[in-house]
A = this chain, B = another copy of it.
Amino acid sequence: MPAPIEFYFDFSSPYSYLASEKIEAIAAKYGRTVAYKPTLLGVTFKASGMQPLVDIPLKGDYSRRDFARSARYAGVPMKFPEKFPISTVNAARALLWLQGTGSAKAVSFVHKTFRSYFVDNRDINDAAVLADIADDLGIDKNAMLAAIQDPAIKDKLKTAVDESVKRGVFGAPFIFVDGEPFWGNDRLPQIERWLERGPF
């Protein structure tokens, strides 16, 4: 069984959302699975001295245009959220908790949470919004709301973010295939070639 594709992301990253809508189909085509690994761009940006795209002069305006055009190019629905970027610490904790329970619904949670933010303009760091998502997916919302306040889950996220920085993750999506790093939704074609024909 080949190793899963490791998909590091932040729920507030537009290009992570776009890539999340494609990566499983690409993986499945080559007999792979996807391991979703939440991180926090606020922390990784500090480690690399970077800042959110939209805060950078000139680049910020271009980026907003490019998010929307890249979504249309990919055929992925996107309605840019009014509040951007946002903290995603609660959504990330909820996912780590769900993954820790061994729930088969963790992948659905990833997609529904991304879409709640990037299509439905909902603040996915809000506990009430996360509870709605849990309800819709048949996940125990009370257990989830307790988990995002649980010191053990908080520690789990800290450890996960530190580990991502140690692996060189400085942006998102940041995808490892057989240990090879690929940064950005733009790299999906290179990832597909790697999966199809091996290292190049």
Contact = CB atoms under 8 A, between A and B. Distances in A.
A49 B170 CA distance: 18
A61 B190 CA distance: 18
A59 B58 CA distance: 20
Given A184-B186, A193-B73, A57 B48 contact: yes
A181 interface: yes
A136 interface: no
Contact of A57 (B47, B56, B61, B189): B47
A59 B171 contact: yes
A199 B59 CA distance: 21
Interface of A: 47-50, 56-59, 61-62, 65-66, 69-70, 72-73, 165, 168-171, 181, 183-184, 186, 189-190, 193, 200
